[in-house]
Structure 1
Amino acid sequence: MKRRDFLRISAISGTAAALPGCGGSDNNTSSVAEAPQPKVVVLWNTAALAAVRDAKPGPPMVARSLAVIHTAIYDAWAAYDAVAVGTRLRGALRRPEAERTAANKVKAMSQAAYAACLNQFPAQKAIFDKAMSQLGFSVSASFDPAQPEGIGNLAAQAVIDFRRGDGSNQDGSLTASGTPYADYTGYAPMNPSTVFTGTTPMSSFPAPDHWQPLTFTDGAGVTRTPGFIAPHWRHVVPFAMTSSSQFRPGPPAALNTPAFTAQAQQIVDMLINLTEKQKCIAEYWADGPNSELPPGHWNLFAQVISERDKHDNDKDVRLFFALTNAVFDAGIATWECKRFYDYVRPISAIRYLFNSQTIKGYGAGGPPAGLVDISGSGWRPFQRDTFPTPPFAEYTSGHSAFSAAGAEVLRSFTGSDAFGHSATIPARSLIADSSLPTAPVTLSWATFTEAMEEAGMSRLYGGIHFADGNNAGKDIGKKTGAQAFAKARRYWEGTA
């Protein structure tokens, strides 16, 4: 059982009973008693995350897709609320009070979710067809606002139309290749690629403080040299930020300074002294291929809160709307910073700084073979050989930003930092070293802050990020999270 299985929550049925509201209107349904309605927001979130695992997009694309889907769901829901306004059509879709039933909201939200999911993940259509079938609904082509299915399509289409020109290049129209999400800014790395399993000569570092591509063999046995994922992401229109650079931090440690050497030495020393628990933390939070990736991780945590606090659809739609847009903005701010500084990853910095030295580290056998004396030119992080380091610049940490934004929204929405969740890593289940842990390890988080802090530190334990990248990423996430939550709340309170 892999890490993502510890948290995955199946969509469950629940009632649509009114719950107190986080600022939204809770007196918006018909007074006529209604049959219990399924928790459709959780169901569609589960479907969206399944599509993410299957499609394997990059982290910022995942954040955007989840925001598009949950914004479409929110906009459809808002049409049946007494005060909330949609993000695109404002109050133009608002239905009369007699139509504001839980059943109509479920149909509208489901149709909006289906349309948005299909737009974001067309190759995963079977997943979304199954979700509609589970709900007993047929896919509708109606745009009639008198029908809930029509409201769903109208809401989703407005969001899709807006996001079509948001700078993400989802449809590939901005490049000759037509490849979805392809870069159209002409980015090129300043360093040549280096082979992960080999050594890197000094001649391969014309720009030692800049990002360097890695060549490695992936899980399918294919040798790959991935390019920088989404270097154009700074041009994507955010949800709440005034610009992609609004929260850009100051620069990272400069080349040929004591701080530059010290941060690399810290990672070398840290990996030599990793405990089993720290290795579990590194892998639990890695969120690499075949997972829901870092942005989706916090959607899983939101499902935990939905179950813990017995949310109905009205509360779920607001929570996921705020959460996904906060994480979306965190991704834009982070990738703007990654492109602006184009900063070196630990693997390259360490191979450059300790190139001719003998140090302790993982040799040709990787983590399973243990620590040995190696040439600094061949240093490896504590990662699986099939995905050694994410293909984009180090500064700042996306994990830290996504997690801080997610924690900020969950704190704000629930009114408390209390989380009370845990995950157990089974014995001998780590991908990087299948002999570990020697006994089950339970990771627990009393608060959202603890989970956020551990997520950030996991990237240092894994040899992926420096401390400054973690700290700056957390700062970005806290700021984008607070700003996005405030804007989302204005939408559902009708004051946006």
Structure 2
Amino acid sequence: MKRTLVLLFAALSFFTCKQNYQKQHEQSTVEEPKGADNIAHQWSEIAITATANDTDRFTPRPTITSRYLGLIFVSIFDAWSRYDEKSIPVYLEGVERRPSDEHTLKNKEIAISYAAFRAMNEYYYTDKELFANFMKELGLDPNDESLDPTTPEGIGNLAAKAVIEARKGDGANQYGEEEGSNGEAYFNYVGYEPINSADKNMDPNRWQPKYFSDGKGGKFAPGCLTPFWDKVKPVALKSADQFRPGPPPMIGSEQLEKEVQEVIEMQANLTDEQKALVEFMRDGPQSVQQAGHWLKFAQEVSIRDDHTLDQDVKMFFYNQLVAMDGFIASWDSKMFYDYARPYALVHEYYDKQKIKAWGGVGKGVVEIEGGEWRPYSPDTFLCPPFPSYVSGHSTISGGCAEALKLWTGSDAFGSEVELVAGYLTEPDNLGDTVTLKFPTFTKTAEMAGVSRVLGGYHIQADNVAGLELGRDVAREVWKFYKKHVGEEL
């Protein structure tokens, strides 16, 4: 009898082991979702949608949305890190790395989904229904608020909670909590006021607000967007001014005179391809701003290279940290120098002189007085409402391009987009359909930067210094990234 029981137990054990082996073998032969099909990529698409919706609801606010995106992907990374062999979270503390046998794709998907869901609810709070519906599509309960550090649901919720708590009081004034604020979110608590008014330019070296059309026959001059953003604490940089560039060229310098003339000549001779480039990089309704634009480029890399969830978690984390800290560094320079834009500089240099220029919607290139010059933009958004030096587009593009080059180990990109010239600026005077080609990350950044000069929003000094600042930020954040993925340089 005893021998029979032993044999029976052995047979059952063998059968169970065989079943487990077959189950593991079946799981290992099921191909992991790649590119656009992996859950990290899908959450990045939700983040892009939420960013576009934010623009519709609150007008473009690139600094604010760059912080949202950065912190969302930090939350995702921190949750994922507990199911990786060596990665170190940024803000999540007191949650142990899970045992190796729990490092499954399913657990990672659940953990990052709860982290993304909670973080997006906090930052893009007007889209909670969108996020809840996506959770349900994934078969996850949006009402699960578990903080159990041994489950993927709990770890995801804890990761987002840690990021949200850590970033309160970081200088962004998201909750109207900074000293000098009035309790209103993103209130100008530093008390910045431009030296120049929209009607009088007292110091032509300094930023001057400009009138926009309100679309109803009236006009208004927007105030400076988030003039306190230089006070926001970076995630990876040592300080906002770590790579602050030297000063821009001033009135009276030969360099500035040449660069203002260059802006006039470029804008008066825009080709259809250049118009399309200006509009593509400027973006329009439902804009995702510069951080979102480069997140979309990163998504293209994910699809091109068949990324796994692990790869996208890491790439998006690095990419969006560069954008977030890049905006902080850019705003440090902008607010420190408080520098004029071409809109005012052309008026200063060419006030009563006759020049060839784009005359506005429906007018084409005409001869006007320099004091009437304007950027190649719709009346309702003529020029970014904040100081010029350095260019934010150039900073983020230079930084994110460098980040993608470092992360992929190659500068090759190979993206392209087909556009109709003038579709965002002159809808009644459309040009040809053109194809913009972006062969490398570096070239794409350079095209983004020069588009701002072509459009009349920046002089070359803003662009060149911005590109270099962005690259400096990317290289510094790379060290931070390598440390947190357990590959310290």
Give the structure-2-normalised TM-score.
Answer: 0.89
Is 2:27 the partner of 1:33? yes
Q: CA 1:84–1:151 in structure 2 vs 1: closer, same or farther (change >3 Å)?
A: same
- Counterpart residue number, 1:192: 197
State whether residues 276 and 437 of structure 1, in contact with CA within 8 Å, keep that contact through their aligned partners in structure 2: no
- Counterpart residue number, 1:309: 305
Q: Structure 1, unaligned stretches of length 5 or more? A: 1-29, 195-203
- Counterpart residue number, 1:10: none
Q: CA 1:183–1:93 in structure 2 vs 1: closer, same or farther (change >3 Å)?
A: farther
**What is the CA deviation profile of residues 413-455 of structure 1, one whole-angstrom value per residue up to 9, with x for unaligned ones?**
11100001100003x6522122555321000011111111100
Counterpart of 2:328 (choices 300, 318, 332) is 332
For residue 223 of structure 1, report the CA deviation from its aligned partner: 3.8
Q: Per the alignment, in what secondary structure is the counterpart of residue 33 of structure 1?
A: helix
Taking the TM superposition and a 5 Å limit, the aligned residue runs for 1:26-425 are: 33=27, 36=32, 39-56=38-55, 57-89=60-92, 92-139=95-142, 140-174=144-178, 175-194=180-199, 204-218=200-214, 223-363=219-359, 366-425=360-419
In structure 2, distance between residues paired with 1:155 and 1:32: 31
State whether residues 276 and 436 of structure 1, in contact with CA within 8 Å, keep that contact through their aligned partners in structure 2: no
Q: CA 1:212–1:112 in structure 2 vs 1: closer, same or farther (change >3 Å)?
A: same
Q: Per the alignment, in what secondary structure is the counterpart of residue 82 of structure 1?
A: coil
**What is the CA deviation profile of residues 65-105 of structure 1, one whole-angstrom value per residue up to 9, with x for unaligned ones?**
11100000000000111111101235733112222111011
- Counterpart residue number, 2:3: none
Percent identity (aligned) = 38
Give the number of aligned pairs. Answer: 455
Q: CA 1:456–1:73 in structure 2 vs 1: closer, same or farther (change >3 Å)?
A: same
**What is the CA deviation profile of residues 355-380 of structure 1, one whole-angstrom value per residue up to 9, with x for unaligned ones?**
122222233xx143111121211111
State whether residues 93 and 151 of structure 1, in contact with CA within 8 Å, keep that contact through their aligned partners in structure 2: no
Aligned-CA RMSD value: 1.9
Greater share of residues in helix: 2
For residue 396 of structure 1, report the CA deviation from its aligned partner: 0.3
For residue 226 of structure 1, report the CA deviation from its aligned partner: 1.4
Bigger Cα displacement from structure 2, 51-60 vs 445-454:
51-60
In structure 1, distance between residues paired with 2:448 and 2:93: 36
State whether residues 267 and 358 of structure 2, in contact with CA within 8 Å, keep that contact through their aligned partners in structure 1: no
- Counterpart residue number, 1:17: none
AA partner of residue 189 (structure 1) = P
Q: Per the alignment, in what secondary structure is the counterpart of residue 366 of structure 2?
A: strand
**What is the CA deviation profile of residues 106-144 of structure 1, one whole-angstrom value per residue up to 9, with x for unaligned ones?**
001000000001111111112211221221211121101
Q: Per the alignment, in what secondary structure is the counterpart of residue 393 of structure 1?
A: coil
AA partner of residue 382 (structure 1) = Y
State whether residues 322 and 489 of structure 1, in contact with CA within 8 Å, keep that contact through their aligned partners in structure 2: no
For residue 220 of structure 1, report the CA deviation from its aligned partner: 7.4
Is 2:442 the partner of 1:449? yes
Bigger Cα displacement from structure 2, 381-390 vs 435-444:
435-444
In structure 1, distance between residues paired with 2:185 and 2:430: 39
Give the structure-1-normalised TM-score.
Answer: 0.88
In structure 2, distance between residues paired with 1:294 and 1:371: 29
In structure 2, distance between residues paired with 1:52 and 1:413: 24
For residue 385 of structure 1, report the CA deviation from its aligned partner: 1.4
Counterpart of 2:454 (choices 461, 466, 489) is 461
AA partner of residue 162 (structure 2) = A
Is 2:464 the partner of 1:471? yes
In structure 1, distance between residues paired with 2:177 and 2:215: 31
**What is the CA deviation profile of residues 399-423 of structure 1, one whole-angstrom value per residue up to 9, with x for unaligned ones?**
0010011111111111100001100
AA partner of residue 231 (structure 1) = P
State whether residues 207 and 387 of structure 2, in contact with CA within 8 Å, keep that contact through their aligned partners in structure 1: yes
Q: Structure 2, unaligned stretches of length 5 or more? A: 1-23
